[in-house]
Amino acid sequence: MRTPTMCYSILQFSRSVVPRIVSFRHEGFHSPCPFSKNNSDVGFLGLETSRQEGGSRRRWICKPISSKAGGNSRITGSKKSTDIRSEILEESISAAVREDVNRTKVTEFHKIEHYDIQQSIDDKKSFVGLVTTIVFDLETTGFSRDTERIIEIAFRDLSGGENSTFQTLVNPQRYIMNHFVHGIRTDMVNRPDIPRMQDLIPILLKYVESRQKPGGIVLLIAHNARTFDVPFLVSEFNRCNFEIPPHWRFMDTLTLAREVMKSKGAKVAPKISLQALREFYGIELDGSSHRAMSDVNVLSHVFQRLTFDLKMSLSDAVSRSFAPSELSSGKKKKDSR
Beta bridge pairs of residue 23: 45
274-281 helix and 292-309 helix, angle to the nearest 10 degrees: 60
Contact yes or no for 230/324 (Cβ under 8 A): yes
- Asked whether the beta carbons of 252 and 277 are under 8 A apart, the reply is no
CA distance 306 to 225: 16
Task: Single out the catalytic residue among 30, 179, 290, 301.
Answer: 290
HSE of 319, CA atoms in CB hemisphere, 13 A: 10
Residue 301: active-site member:
no
Q: Identify whether the C-beta of residue 300 lies closer than 8 Å to the C-beta of residue 287.
A: no
In DSSP notation, 94-145 reads HHHHHHHHHHHHHHHHHHHHHHHHHHHHHHHHHHHTTEEEEEEEEEESSS-T
The per-residue b/e assignment along 88-126, b for 16 or more CB within 10 angstroms, e otherwise, is eeeeeeeeeeeeeeeeeeeeeeeeeeeeeeeeeeeeeee
SS3 assignment, position 156 = strand
Catalytic residue numbers, as ranges = 290
